[in-house]
Amino acid sequence: MAATNRRGGYGQTTCFLVALCWHLASTVATEQSCTLETDFKDDDFPCRKWLHCRQPTDWTSLSAEIKTKSENDRLCAIVVDCANTVTISNFDFQTIGGQFGRVLNVTISRCNATQVSLADDMYLVVELGLDGNAFDSLDFLKDWQSTEFEVLDFHNNRLRTVRQTDFANFNHLSSLRLDANHITDVAANSFLNNHELVSVNLANNRLQTVGERMFAGMDALKIFATGWEQNQHFGRRNVH
Ligand SMILES: *[C@@H]1O[C@H](CO)[C@@H](O)[C@H](O)[C@H]1NC(C)=O
Ligand SMILES: *[C@@H]1O[C@H](CO)[C@@H](O)[C@H](O)[C@H]1NC(C)=O
């Protein structure tokens, strides 16, 4: 009789512990939005670990996760996708205090962001993706004139103009996505210094006229201005 009771007691304890552990595990799982993945591969730079953060709840918890993971593992990419479920206006990597000396790729998608500041040790970043946010100007780029950007993706934002200085110091820029913005004009000589630029996507903007010197200085054979025809079509349609 006593033994049966004791077994019953163990059973209840086990059930209680399993339930508690399950509860704790699921609580922790919902609080973490970032997972460490290991299939990132850069041909020029052997680098494997990247952090993929899906639908973070706010900047405070997201930045804490990024800090922990970047201190424990040498990250080569940080990819955040808010999937339009939350607004995180300011991605200020300078305040995180992590270690970003190997990060090659920073991608922030669909967060309604308007500001981003790279940390001082993010000097290797070659790809910056900020698609699906709320950037209305490229002013934030002026702080990063010394970085090594090769790929910039600003598609699906609210950019209105491209100024001559915006990309002036990005000598290694090869691919630029500016499609699906509200761009009405691109200043002459905007890409004068971008000798390695081979692709500029300006589709789905509000360009009405094509400045003669918009692509001045670029090797004409290398220009691949995707969506150019759509822009001109859009312009013509508006004229009639
Ligand atoms: C950077 O990350 C984004 C998002 O995962 C990806 O689409 C892009 O290809 C990456 N760039 C490189 C150079 O790996
Ligand atoms: C995006 O952010 C602005 C403030 O910067 C806010 O007014 C707007 O509601 C946000 N949009 C969404 C879809 O969260």
Q: Give domain status of residue 17, yes or no.
A: no
Burial of residue 152 (CB within 10 Å: 0-12, 13-18, 19+) is buried
Q: Give domain status of residue 21, yes or no.
A: no
Mutation test residue for ligand 1: of 37, 107, 111, 177, the one with most atoms within 8 Å of CB: 107
Q: φ and ψ at 65, to 5 degrees?
A: -65, -45
Q: Give domain status of residue 15, yes or no.
A: no
Q: Which residue has the higher pLDDT, 210 or 8?
A: 210
Q: Which domain holds residue 47?
A: 36-233
pLDDT tens, 163-220? Answer: 999 999 899 999 999 999 999 988 888 888 888 888 889 889 988 766 656 666 665 4
Q: Whose CA is nearest to atom 5 of ligand 2?
A: 89
Whether 105 is in the pocket of ligand 1, judged by its Cβ within 6 Å, is yes
Chain-centre distance of CA 39, in angstroms?
18
Q: Give domain status of residue 197, yes or no.
A: yes
| 112 C-alpha to ligand 2 centroid (Å) | 6
The 34-37 sheet, strands edge to edge: 34-37, 50-54, 77-81, 105-109, 127-129, 151-153, 175-177, 199-201
Q: Which ligand is nearest to the CA of 149?
A: 1
Rounded-to-integer distance, Cα 167 and Cα 193, Å: 8
Q: Quote the percentage of the chain above a pLDDT of 90.
A: 51
Mutation test residue for ligand 2: of 84, 86, 110, 112, the one with most atoms within 8 Å of CB: 112
Query: And the tokens for 91?
Result: 């991605």
Q: Whose CA is nearest to atom 9 of ligand 2?
A: 87
Spatial CA neighbour of 130 closest among 96, 90, 169: 90
Residues 6 or more apart whose Cβ sits within 8 Å of residue 74: 49, 99, 101, 102
Q: Tell how many helices (H) and how many strands (E) occur in the chain.
A: 3, 12
User: Using a 6 Å CB cutoff, which residues line ligand 2?
Assistant: 87, 89, 112, 114, 134
109 CA closest ligand 1 atom index:
4
Q: Give domain status of residue 105, yes or no.
A: yes
Question: CA-based angle 76:82:83, to the nearest 5?
Answer: 120
pLDDT tens, 95-154? Answer: 999 899 999 999 999 999 999 999 989 989 999 999 999 999 998 888 776 678 999 999
pTM of the model: 0.80
Q: Give domain status of residue 27, yes or no.
A: no
Q: What is the CATH number of the domain that holds 43?
A: 3.80.10.10
Rounded-to-integer distance, Cα 155 and Cα 201, Å: 9
Name the pLDDT band for 3 (thresholds 50, 70, 90). Answer: very low
Spatial CA neighbour of 81 closest among 55, 99, 106, 103: 55
Number of independent structural domains in the chain = 1
Q: Give domain status of residue 188, yes or no.
A: yes
Q: Give domain status of residue 66, yes or no.
A: yes
